[in-house]
Structure 1
């Protein structure tokens, strides 16, 4: 887990009323939010108590149910506000945007209500369910490019050549103001709030909520929450200006933005009280909290704010505070629930993942279980190997139910080592949780040099064929594991018979065009898969 990254205090106190590059002052935003006609398209969503979580944290926790919008996301607010402000000729020509997610549906729905043409450019790897959802709302879909940047380039080209108006997903004052109506509702629904937690992707929602709340009720703290694999606002604050991330993780797809907007950065850096980053495991635990308390199923990015709320409350030892978070969306791919369920226990510090060496003899598992002191075993992976010598211990992958977080995990490892076992804590090892737990029982052959790589693999027809064609037949593949969590990208773990000095292999990796990392030295891989 990463530590909270505070917004620089100097930035929060400067430029209290100056206009940014767009020419909009905070006063301009306040006026636009107060008169935004978003309720022609959007719902006034409830602020719902989370009683079980409130009891656990010792604070009053409430969730703003933006998943109850017609498009199951807050994005309808900003899209409609921006499109409603267009002139007659602009409406006649129509609009265009690039999105594979909630913004696409917000634009399509708004266009249908306003009687306008809406061209939505989506990457070719966009799952069919999302394409069909946009078309069902009346949007005209054009598939272009294999990533968001390529789709955006096509959308901007269409705007220039076809006379369409480009509707930005976040870095536009009227989009920001539309999202700001969420903040207005929050303080109307609970004027005694102490903190509001808002997810940050490109920064539109966080900017809109902060610019409203800080002018009307500045004593309320507004906290931005980012996923640690797409923390573009934190990177911008550190650099003093927006920067482009080299890569972003795609688990929380709705906030997987490589670069925060110019205007949203200005507002967030001036107005947010803090920025917190959270992990996929923490987000998964927050998805479960939402389901258990209010019976809503959030998409991962929709639960980001709650994950940040929980982290912030613990790190700052909050008690008797009134806390609210925004459930920003519920457009979840159903198959992603398997991954979320699996990871939620770890995110809540309720499960430890261990690699343990135990003697290859009868009764070993019984003696091992006794050392755990009555703790429940949640997973136990082992396979007998006839090639193992009698003196060589077996290696097991084991999950153990816990309640005490890192300290209890350390105690379990210490107890096992005191009993004569060799153990390693793999709870924070991503490779162990995604791939290795499914691959116990096979190890590299003796005498074979092997290099291991992980890939983010686009879920599209022909992707595997392209993968193999680019690699060619120069290297023998010695290990292959594919895992999808229901997102646009699957995950592949692949090993090649190659030595550490084989630079030609990595040159081929670069030609693939996929995001990859070498994992040869990963502890879980060395423990279970290496020789």
Structure 2
């Protein structure tokens, strides 16, 4: 059974091991409310997961420790288990989905864990870990559906209350539900009027679907770049706790998450992975009522692969109107590009790429297509440029 005493005990055990992460005021994220960021992306191992993993392993018996531990993870829990096991002198084996970012896989190995890659998503890695646990008699460290793990994650709730006692709402990413279960348990027992909002992506809404249907309802598949919360089915414990303590669950799109990642980089100088930024996306895109409230967004992790980060930034720029692409069919004659460039320049756009393509087989012999990439301020400026080009007689495809 999860109790406040257990969570306070977890905080005591974790004090010399983990970082009490800062809460940072972020005035740019909302015009209506006062938004703060709980920066678990700056935690050791780069995510909150080390809290639950370390506390769980610290509570194992000597006999359980002697058999070694096994876990499954999309990457962040893996690093937490690997570090905790290493600090306790325990052998660890981690099953990780082969779709997890390379950076998370290599980081897990760097802490001394043995890693087995499993084809598929988190739930496939979980099934494989259960097989190996039976074969090797290791102690299983569940990433979310465990009272000790949830107690470790709940220490974040204690820190929030200490750092921002007047918090009106806490916005938390949901994958399997361990993080939000721990935080919600603390907040609803110590500050019952504080609202708890969970956030999932539209491509992996397993907890929201289950709560809406009032029963655990596994998804057939998940599709999101927020790999840390790409879970097909919530846990038994976490489903019950979320149903009891969480006020509302909302979803965000991958494009909205990408915009949130970009916003955090530009204005907060923080790197968050997709799963870590969903809380910010929910606030930025009005999924939650924050008017006049002190709202804490939990940035659950910052372990994003550099190659994925590049794609996310590009998508975020497109979504926010910071870059745009124009495709213009033309008669292939001198001066056409100059006319287009002058209009774009007059309206403050910056041309960064030009591609000239001769007409296709079914088009006029003297036709061509110009593809232009631009840097812009926002969608309003893009619309102004398009309108000016059309007004000058150019057609846009």
Compute the displacement of 1:241 (Å).
2.2
CA contact (8 A) 2:101 2:304 kept: no
Paired with 1:275 and 1:354, the residues of 2 have a C-alpha distance of 38
* More contact order relative to length (CA 8 Å, sep ≥ 6): 2
Alignment-derived partner of residue 240 in structure 1: 214
Paired with 1:396 and 1:225, the residues of 2 have a C-alpha distance of 41
- 17, 27, 45: which one pairs with 2:21? 45
Paired with 1:132 and 1:256, the residues of 2 have a C-alpha distance of 20
Alignment-derived partner of residue 202 in structure 2: 228
CA contact (8 A) 2:173 2:180 kept: yes
Alignment-derived partner of residue 227 in structure 2: 253
Cα-to-partner distance string for 1:116-140 (whole Å, 9 max, x where unaligned) = 2222123456665444322321222
- The TM-score normalised by the length of structure 1 is 0.66
Alignment-derived partner of residue 61 in structure 1: 35
- 293, 296, 318: which one pairs with 1:324? 296
Paired with 1:193 and 1:266, the residues of 2 have a C-alpha distance of 24
Paired with 1:86 and 1:280, the residues of 2 have a C-alpha distance of 38
Alignment-derived partner of residue 171 in structure 2: 197
Compute the displacement of 1:303 (Å).
1.7
Alignment-derived partner of residue 90 in structure 2: 116
1:501-512 aligned at under 5 Å gives the runs none
Cα gap change, 1:362/1:267 in structure 2, threshold over 3 Å: closer, same or farther? farther
CA contact (8 A) 2:40 2:46 kept: yes
Compute the displacement of 1:194 (Å).
2.2
Cα gap change, 1:384/1:134 in structure 2, threshold over 3 Å: closer, same or farther? same
Cα gap change, 1:279/1:145 in structure 2, threshold over 3 Å: closer, same or farther? closer
Cα gap change, 1:90/1:310 in structure 2, threshold over 3 Å: closer, same or farther? same
Compute the displacement of 1:189 (Å).
0.3
Asked if 1:376 is matched to 2:349, the reply is: yes
Paired with 2:198 and 2:122, the residues of 1 have a C-alpha distance of 23
Compute the displacement of 1:205 (Å).
0.9
Task: Indicate the SS of the match to 1:57.
Answer: coil
Cα gap change, 1:282/1:143 in structure 2, threshold over 3 Å: closer, same or farther? closer
Cα gap change, 1:356/1:385 in structure 2, threshold over 3 Å: closer, same or farther? closer
Cα gap change, 1:72/1:239 in structure 2, threshold over 3 Å: closer, same or farther? same
Alignment-derived partner of residue 345 in structure 1: 317
Cα gap change, 1:380/1:304 in structure 2, threshold over 3 Å: closer, same or farther? farther
Unaligned runs of 5+ in 2: none
CA contact (8 A) 1:179 1:209 kept: yes
Alignment-derived partner of residue 256 in structure 2: 282
Paired with 2:129 and 2:360, the residues of 1 have a C-alpha distance of 59
Unaligned runs of 5+ in 1: 1-23, 425-531
Cα gap change, 1:241/1:377 in structure 2, threshold over 3 Å: closer, same or farther? farther
Paired with 1:269 and 1:382, the residues of 2 have a C-alpha distance of 57
Asked if 1:363 is matched to 2:335, the reply is: yes
Alignment-derived partner of residue 51 in structure 2: 77
Q: Over aligned residue pairs, what C-alpha RMSD do you find?
A: 3.0
Paired with 1:274 and 1:177, the residues of 2 have a C-alpha distance of 21
